[in-house]
Structure 1
Amino acid sequence: MDIPSIISTTRELVVEHYVFAEVAAELDALLAARVDHYATATTPEELSALVTADLQTVNGDRHLRLKHHVDAVSEGDDEATNRRDNREFDESMGGVPLLCGLDGGVAHLELAPLLFPVGMVAESITAAFTLVAHASALIIDLRRNHGGDPHTVAFVCSYLLDEPTHLNTFHTREDESYQQFWSLPHVPGTRFGGTRPVYVLTSGTTFSGAEELAYDLQQLGRATIVGETTGGGAHPRRGFAVHPHLEATIPTARAINPVSGTNWELVGVVPDIAVPADEALDRAHREALTALGQS
């Protein structure tokens, strides 16, 4: 394991790509000063832990890390974070591990462990929302969801809104570009629509793209968030292989919500109704029944 080379490559990638140029300069100097410390690592996993701890000291960005992979990262694969574990997808029933009806005509829909890319998950999400279209109220469970694709966030939101709506914008540092995300004018299957009650369940481990889904719906006033404050990771990232078992994951853009003008980075999505995560489903169900006049 050529540690000096790994650190040098990681430094170059941070300086070139990290969304905040001034922070990138600080991190470059920090990593350079810590090379002897990193030399104490005897495995890629140990090096990952040492470097990640330092990368997150300046501004606490949890997306910024040197990620260890048990399975080798493919040579020439710069977009390692875009690859999804097909077994995980299959084991979660296509990203929809649970869908059931609760008393009072309330549907409970879990999306986990990721909001997989639309090309993978569109069929299962379409099927799920076609079923819950018959419910009087909907509970979307993101307590075990740790991230995903912003296009999938927009796809899910499209089933909960009646017309195209601006959801989020990414500002990319490298080319100073802006990419807007809107809900879709048409969806396959049946919309739940924009009027019936929606509740979103969160936990302290709800992260990244799952946080965006909760935050977008909260800012639009379309859903009530129930549970715990989420993890606080709002910066979309790219992955770069720097060793067969190490990937530098570097945020390259920042999210700008059209309502708040900011995002959930570091602060997380603060629930409208704060309860422990394991109590969130029962509380949301009670809230739904009350909203439906069944309490």
Structure 2
Amino acid sequence: MTTSAKLAPAPVIDETVRLLTEHYVFPEIGRQLTGLLQRRFAEGAYDVDGAEELARLVTADLQSVNGDRHLRLKHHADPVSPKQGAATLDAMRRDFDTSLGGAPRVELLDGGVAVVELAPMLFPLEWAAEPLAAALTLASRAQGLIIDLRANRGGDPDTVAFVCSYLLDERTHLNTMHWPGSRQSEQSWSLPHVPGARFGGSKPLYVLSSADTFSAAEELSYDLQQLGRAVVVGEPTRGGAHPCRGWTVHPHLEATVPVGRAVNPVSHTNWEGAGVQPDVPCAAADALDHAHALALARLAG
């Protein structure tokens, strides 16, 4: 099936409206958005030739009320399974296999400062535990550490907690997810034990951010920043704090809808909309040099 053929937008809009109504974490905003989508559909705004253009138009409308960047109609060039989350899972597996499991770079810089790049995302922990443990254990012997999240677009909150566990000395409350539909909450804590060796909670730690850093990568930055454990260097991040799920609504289209709300135990809020604000603002391209210089100065002092 090609995405260039004329498609019928009605089933896509109807299913997206249903998902918003049943699952969106902010019901009042969801009602505004369902009205907007139905009105735009009636006006003929979605009468387009292909799935990719429909995805662009619907996403712009979904994000027009409260700027929720997790709320979108995502286009996939290859047909995806109708199973919930299958579109995202297939794409993640391809990225995992081509990025050394999400840790494509481990390097020792001058002065005993290591860099561990985590990209393009924080993959599901059942996949990523082994490569991340290897990378972080290797870096544990460094005198200072830089975690590079500039190209990381998000991922698994359990993997956030796993990475934090290597950077702290004791079990620590990191985040709480609230699930409004079930009236339940779920706390995230660092682990009491990790495979391999910890870098620990006392040596200099820096996190690099960019305007592309998103979602779970923002949580990793924010958690460490709020705990006073890391200095964030670079650009403000994109500002997506709400955990979401994906549903296939067309062979080439996936609706992603936030279903929960993150609350940090230190700030009692999150980074939604505003992004994680760096402690040391600079262009993302210069962030590694800045962080390395800061680490060397701290070690010298």
> TM-score range with shorter-chain normalisation?
over 0.9
Moved over 4 A (4+): none
1:37 match: 44
Task: State how far apart, in whole Å, the 2-side matches of 1:284 and 1:160 are.
Answer: 17
Task: State how far apart, in whole Å, the 1-side matches of 2:298 and 2:21 are.
Answer: 51
What is the aligned length?
294
Which letter maps to 2:291? A
For each residue in 1:33-81, what CA deviation from the matched residue of structure 2 results, as whole angstroms up to 9, or x when unmatched? 0113344211011110111110000000011011111111202335543
Tell me if structure 2 keeps the 8 A contact 1:81–1:238. no
Which letter maps to 1:20? F
For each residue in 1:227-282, what CA deviation from the matched residue of structure 2 results, as whole angstroms up to 9, or x when unmatched? 00000000110001111111110000110000000000010000000010011001
Q: Which stretch of structure 1 is more off in the superposition, 62-71 or 1-10?
A: 1-10
1:86 deviation in Å? 2.7
2:9 match: 3
Is 1:232 matched with 2:239?
Answer: yes
2:34 match: 28
Q: Say which SS state the counterpart of residue 250 (structure 1) adopts.
A: strand
User: What are the residue-to-residue correspondences of 1:108-127 with 2, within 5 Å?
Assistant: 108-127=115-134
Task: State how far apart, in whole Å, the 2-side matches of 1:118 and 1:231 are.
Answer: 23
Which letter maps to 1:255? A
Task: State how far apart, in whole Å, the 1-side matches of 2:76 and 2:85 are.
Answer: 14
For each residue in 1:204-240, what CA deviation from the matched residue of structure 2 results, as whole angstroms up to 9, or x when unmatched? 1101110000000000000000000000000110001
Task: State how far apart, in whole Å, the 2-side matches of 1:215 and 1:201 are.
Answer: 12
Q: Say which SS state the counterpart of residue 241 (structure 1) adopts.
A: strand
- Aligned CA-pair RMSD: 1.2
Counterpart pick for 2:144 among 125, 137, 149: 137
1:49 match: 56
Q: Say which SS state the counterpart of residue 155 (structure 1) adopts.
A: helix
Tell me if structure 2 keeps the 8 A contact 1:3–1:38. no
Q: Say which SS state the counterpart of residue 184 (structure 1) adopts.
A: coil
Task: State how far apart, in whole Å, the 2-side matches of 1:103 and 1:278 are.
Answer: 19
Q: Say which SS state the counterpart of residue 34 (structure 1) adopts.
A: helix
Structure 2: 5+ residue runs without aligned partners?
Answer: 1-6
The TM-score with structure 1 as length reference comes to 0.97
Tell me if structure 2 keeps the 8 A contact 1:207–1:233. yes
Q: Say which SS state the counterpart of residue 114 (structure 2) adopts.
A: strand
Q: Say which SS state the counterpart of residue 135 (structure 1) adopts.
A: coil
Is 1:151 matched with 2:161?
Answer: no
Counterpart pick for 1:222 among 229, 233, 242: 229
For each residue in 1:97-149, what CA deviation from the matched residue of structure 2 results, as whole angstroms up to 9, or x when unmatched? 11110111000110000000111111111111111111000000000111110
2:3 match: none
Task: State how far apart, in whole Å, the 2-side matches of 1:88 and 1:79 are.
Answer: 14
Q: 1:174 to 1:67 in 2, by over 3 A?
A: same
2:270 match: 263
1:14 deviation in Å? 0.3
Counterpart pick for 1:95 among 85, 99, 102: 102
The TM-score with structure 2 as length reference comes to 0.95
User: What are the residue-to-residue correspondences of 1:154-193 with 2, within 5 Å?
Assistant: 154-193=161-200
Structure 1: 5+ residue runs without aligned partners?
Answer: none
% of aligned pairs identical? 59
